[in-house]
Amino acid sequence: MRFPTSLLLGLALMLTPAYAQDQSIEDVISSQIDAFGARDADTAFSYASPNIQNLFGTPEAFGLMVQNGYPMVQNPSEVEYVDQITNGSYTLQRLRIQDQSGKDHWFAYEMIVIDGKWRINGVYRIDPIGLSA
């Protein structure tokens, strides 16, 4: 009976991110961006992973970091979800955020599942996707 148990365990491990369906990855990121736009640091902070929450300590400190380092996230004119790359325990959501002046900014949001819900575990600036020299 080892085969069925191994098969079930393998399927469960492969499908781990799939059970985080209350909100999709795009929903979570959009909700956080909306919260930043509403200057609601508490709600924005709630979408961050425990690692990020521990790093900043308070919603206010987190909000200030975004305000000072990522102002385009607080008030984007456009958000385009480009693609997702799943790598074991996390998924990268790559996206383009256009600021109010029309400048594009490219990011990868590292998403992890915590207690069955997607949480943002890091945001990284990346090179533009699909553009080559």
Task: Work out the burial of residue 109: count CB atoms within 10 Å of its CB; fewer than 13 is exposed, 13-18 middle, 19 or more buried.
Answer: buried
Domain-located, residue 3? no
Beta strands 90-98; 78-87: pairing state? antiparallel
Domain-located, residue 119? yes
pLDDT of residue 14: 45
Entry pTM: 0.81
**Site of tokens 């000072």:** 68
Residues 16-31: b if buried by 16+ CB within 10 A, e if exposed: ebeebeeeebbebbbe
Domain-located, residue 16? no
pLDDT of residue 129: 86
Q: What is the DSSP letter of 99?
A: -
- Residue pair 121/27 in contact (Cβ under 8 Å)? The answer is no
CA distance 73 to 37: 8
Domain-located, residue 120? yes
pLDDT of residue 131: 62
**Rounded-to-10 torsion of CA 58, 59, 62, 66:** -170
Domain-located, residue 17? no
Task: Work out the burial of residue 43: count CB atoms within 10 Å of its CB; fewer than 13 is exposed, 13-18 middle, 19 or more buried.
Answer: middle
pLDDT of residue 13: 42
In which domain, by residue range, is 51 found? 22-125
Domain-located, residue 101? yes
pLDDT, tens digit only, all 133 positions of the chain: 444 544 444 444 444 444 445 799 999 999 999 999 999 999 999 999 999 999 999 999 999 999 999 999 999 999 999 999 999 899 999 999 999 999 999 999 999 999 999 999 999 999 998 765 5
Question: The domain that contains 63 carries what CATH number?
Answer: 3.10.450.50
pLDDT of residue 66: 95
- Number of folded domains that form the chain: 1
Domain-located, residue 26? yes
pLDDT of residue 132: 56
